[in-house]
Amino acid sequence: MMQLTVREAVEADAEDLVRVRVDAWRAAYAGVIPPAYLDELDATAAPSRLAEYLRALPAGRHYLAAEREGRLVGFAVAGAERPSVESARGERDGFGEVHALYVHPDAWFTGTGAALLDAATHRLAGDGLHTLSLWVLERNAQARRFYERHGWRADGARDELQFGGALVQELRYTAPAPVRRLSASALPRQRRVRAAV
């Protein structure tokens, strides 16, 4: 099996990241988003803007790239949860969000998405966030099954997006943040206590 590496994305990845996003959207959203909108996606349009963004990545934002045998095949973006009415009322303190997770169609069903989700959620847990959210298109059954297999559940929140004149429903999924991993050096040392005789 080919080696998969998940690492921080860098400026030089921008062109490949945009290519993955465009190809993933065209495959995943066929029949969900109007074809004309998907046809207009341009993999050459935004790499320079993305490279600038990666150069000055905001604190607390994680942009992860998945690579197999030197080829970038997926990415995930995670950070603090986006503002909402609930967060304005102080009801969502300590929430993080997986803002995006896309895998190139050639790498679907290879474990790439699971590796990216695991890496992103552990980064958010490392930031001290206790509950995580993400948004998924209601009609994207494959993505919903994927997240549900990994313990995510729809929490009842809905939103509506517009693509090419069509309204598309989006659902919010939530999950507890994973338990933070401790390195061996961070583990408490065990002390041997000699029993009294």
Per domain, the residue ranges of the chain are 4-132
Would you call 106 helix, strand, or coil by DSSP? helix
Decide: residue 44, CB within 10 A, 0-12 exposed, 13-18 middle, 19+ buried.
exposed
CA distances from 54 to 75, 100, 105 (A): 13, 15, 24
pLDDT of amino acid 182: 54
- pLDDT tens profile 51-68: 999 999 999 999 999 999
77, 61 contact by CB (below 8 A): yes
| pLDDT, greater one: 110 or 181 | 110
Helix ranges (DSSP H) in 41-158: 47-55, 85-88, 112-126, 141-149
**Rounded to an integer, what distance in angstroms lies between the CA atom of residue 63 and that of residue 20?**
14
24, 75 contact by CB (below 8 A): no
**Nearest CA among 143, 178, 197 for reference residue 29:** 143
Would you call 84 helix, strand, or coil by DSSP? coil
| pLDDT, greater one: 194 or 63 | 63
pLDDT of amino acid 83: 79
- Long-range Cβ contact pairs of 150-158 (< 8 A, separation 24 or more): 150/114, 150/117, 150/175, 151/175
pLDDT of amino acid 93: 83
- pLDDT tens profile 123-155: 999 999 999 999 999 999 999 999 999 999 999
Bridge partners, residue 6, by sequence: 66
Note the CATH architecture for domain 4-132.
3-Layer(aba) Sandwich (3.40)
